Amino acid sequence: MNIEDESLFETYEHRNDAESARKKFEGQKYLDPRCDPAFRALLDSEDALVNFLNAILHFEGENAIESLTYTVQQDELFHLPEPYRVKFDIGARTKAGKRIDVEMQKLKLNDYVDRMMIYNAFLLLRAKNDYNKEIDFQNLPDSKKEKFRYTLPEIYSIWIMDYPVQFMGNVYRDEVGLYNLSSVGKEGCIPISTKNKYIIVDLTKFNKSKDNLETDEDRWLYILKNAGSSSSLPEFDNPTFEDALRRIECDTASDELLIKQANMKDFLYAYSDAIDESFEKGAEYGRYNRSAEIALDMLADNEPLDKIMKYSHLPKEKVLELQKTKTCKTVK
């Protein structure tokens, strides 16, 4: 089953009203920020997003973000020349000109690496277009145009994944950049350019307990992973965290947020079941193919029927079916 969360969610028929949505979260302290609506609400303030980005990007001192502008759930239409729609969860631009895309990915998608690259490509193109507007590129004299024609701002794609990311091994945070192959693995290996980075977080590998949270990065990741299932969270003694958590409290959340969260929750349950069923069917199909291969090899060696049934684990009628098929192919 090919999973594309936006297209599937938009065609998902079940929708909650305010009453049914509130009932879904009775007895729950916080909405689960691993789902898009609560994730966006959690970070929907400049203070929270600045703190979160500095923590995840490891920006400190002179490099720390001080202020930014941002958009939650930015829906953009690009032309290639055919229309291509992209939804960015949170798009931010810092005072220093850095462009940042933050994505929360709850559903495991096919080709998720390709998806990250596509989003990053559109982020880069949009950032370049915005930069050209800022410097009024079209009206620059030709000599200056050549100087700035290919200049890019710094771009960061942050992906928070709620499923195992295979290429990351046992680490929960990794960075991907542009490296030349001849230097990879060597001491002092540095990227060719630091203007375009992917920061990937695998929440399934983040296992710090509430007593071992040392940095703001630890605190944000702990909230993302545990808020939806915890009756209480640690006292962070930080108004930024307190305000962020207040926005996703079930008892005080707006009807609009609760409805969006309930719809997404129902959608995830429905399609998780569908995915599990699809995987099980795929596994069953794979097991049958392997058994059929064994049976066909043994038929080719003229092994007795009972022996073929024993080692292929196929019933008699299936083995005879395969024998008939093999015979037909041989005749042809």
Give tens-digit pLDDT for 75-90: 888 888 888 888 889 9
Lowest mean pLDDT among 59-73, 105-119, 163-177: 105-119
**Which pLDDT value is given to residue 283?**
45
**Averaged pLDDT for residues 8-20:** 66
Confidence of residue 327 (pLDDT cuts 50, 70, 90): low
| Percent of the chain surpassing pLDDT 70 | 88
Cβ atoms of 326 and 308 closer than 8 Å: no
Mean of all residue pLDDT scores within the chain: 86
Residue scoring higher pLDDT (115 or 52): 52
**Averaged pLDDT for residues 259-274:** 77
Q: Is the pLDDT of residue 326 over 70?
A: no
pTM, two decimal places: 0.77
**Which pLDDT value is given to residue 288?**
61
**Averaged pLDDT for residues 314-319:** 84
Separation CA 224–CA 162 (nearest Å): 9
Residue scoring higher pLDDT (262 or 279): 262
**Averaged pLDDT for residues 215-226:** 97
Q: Which helix (H) or strand (E) holds 136?
A: none
Q: Is the pLDDT of residue 37 over 80?
A: yes
Q: How confident is the model over 281-310, as pLDDT tens digits?
A: 444 545 567 777 788 878 887 888 888 888
Confidence of residue 108 (pLDDT cuts 50, 70, 90): confident
Measure CA of the first residue to CA of the last residue in the chain; give whole Å: 35
Residue scoring higher pLDDT (95 or 311): 95
Separation CA 327–CA 324 (nearest Å): 5
Cα angle 119, 122, 128 (rounded to 5 degrees) comes to: 140
Q: Is the pLDDT of residue 166 over 70?
A: yes
**Which pLDDT value is given to residue 127?**
92
Structure-token match 């979160």, residue found: 52
**Averaged pLDDT for residues 198-205:** 96
Q: What are phi and psi of 6, to 5 degrees?
A: -65, -50
Q: How confident is the model over 137-161, as pLDDT tens digits?
A: 999 999 889 999 999 999 999 999 9
Separation CA 198–CA 178 (nearest Å): 10
Q: Which amino acid is residue 213, in one-letter code?
A: L
Cα angle 72, 74, 79 (rounded to 5 degrees) comes to: 170
**Averaged pLDDT for residues 117-131:** 92
Q: Is the pLDDT of residue 278 over 70?
A: no
